[in-house]
Amino acid sequence: MAVRGFGIAWPGDWALALPSVLVTLREGVEAALVVGIVVTVLAQTRRRDLYPWVGAGVVGGVGCSLAGGWLLVVGLQHLTQMRPRVQYGVEAGLELLAAGLLTWMLLWMTRQGREMAGVIRQEVAAQRQGWGVGLIVLAAVLREGMETVIFIGAQFQQGWLPLTGAMAGVVGAVLVGYLLFGLGMRLPLRQFFLVMGSGLLLIVGGLLVSALWHLSKAVATAGAGLGVLVWDTSAWLPDGQGPGLLLKVLLGYRDHLYLLQALAYGGFLGIVGTLYYRSLRSVSASAKDSAVQGS
């Protein structure tokens, strides 16, 4: 049974919260790394008096993200009162926007992540005013927060479950940040981001499949313009309950899949997945070369 509106979910529908957990956890850990690096630089340069500006940046970034999320939800609730085709068009647009942002984040962070610490250190060292440090933190937190908000907005027809999953992801990100910078633990971050990135590839592929479905409903009828029906497994593995729902939220499975959806899903995983894993290999090779040169 699929969740619609903002009602109470059945126990089996809690799988719908998993994508939000994954997205928010990854985004939150990235924000936590930026905040932790800034705090570390300030401690090393004996500028602990600027810590309050770091806190202000975090609060400002979270606050702006929540405000943006609230405005988005209110706007979407009003749109649900409009004609169904308008609603489907809005859903498709949000899904495509979320897919684009998550893809950009995945590829950009993979290529730039290795240099991120050095760039942040330089930016913090160049700041002589506390508000400048606060702006660095605010920008990082707001960037990750708004990407999460747009993703959750794309799931607005699933009720409160995506929001619940996002809250769990934030708690997990705070915990990771505390373990890294509060307790000084060494965590396998490379493996963490590898797993998170692989999961995001599948989630974004599912967003594209869903966006095409909503576009077809916005233009005409469900399935119009999507080509021939590749399969219909609704009789034995429906995507609205049980194992089918879990496969839907994690792998992009649909019990009705059309040719254009299948091509978009496979093409996205093939092209973006190749770019992603190739970037990972190049980053690993660069790290090995640096280690050899430094030895």
Amino acid identity at 59:
V
| Exposure b/e, 280-295, CB count within 10 A at least 16 = b | beebeeeeeeeeeeee
Which structure tokens are listed for 221?
A: 């009828």
- For 79, phi then psi, to 5°, come to -65, -25
Amino acid identity at 117:
A
Residue 213 has pLDDT above 80, yes or no: yes
Q: What is the pLDDT of residues 43-74, one digit of tens each?
A: 888 888 888 999 999 999 999 988 988 888 77
- Mean pLDDT throughout 23-51? 86
- What distances in angstroms separate CA 237 from CA 158, 166, 198, 246, one per listed residue? 20, 27, 24, 11
- Mean pLDDT throughout 102-117? 74
Cβ–Cβ < 8 Å for 158, 8:
no
Residues 28 and 23: their CA atoms lie apart, in Å, by 8
Mean pLDDT computed over every residue of the chain: 80
Please state the separation of Cα 138 from the chain's center in Å: 18
Q: What is the pLDDT of residues 148-188, one digit of tens each?
A: 888 888 776 677 778 888 889 889 998 988 888 877 777 78
Dihedral sign for Cα atoms in the order 119, 121, 124, 126: negative
The pLDDT score that the predictor gives to residue 80 is: 67
Residue 295 has pLDDT above 50, yes or no: no
Residues 274 and 284: their CA atoms lie apart, in Å, by 15
pLDDT winner (highest mean) among 25-29, 114-118, 156-160, 286-290: 25-29
Cβ–Cβ < 8 Å for 276, 213:
no
Other CB atoms within 10 Å distance of the CB of residue 153? 22
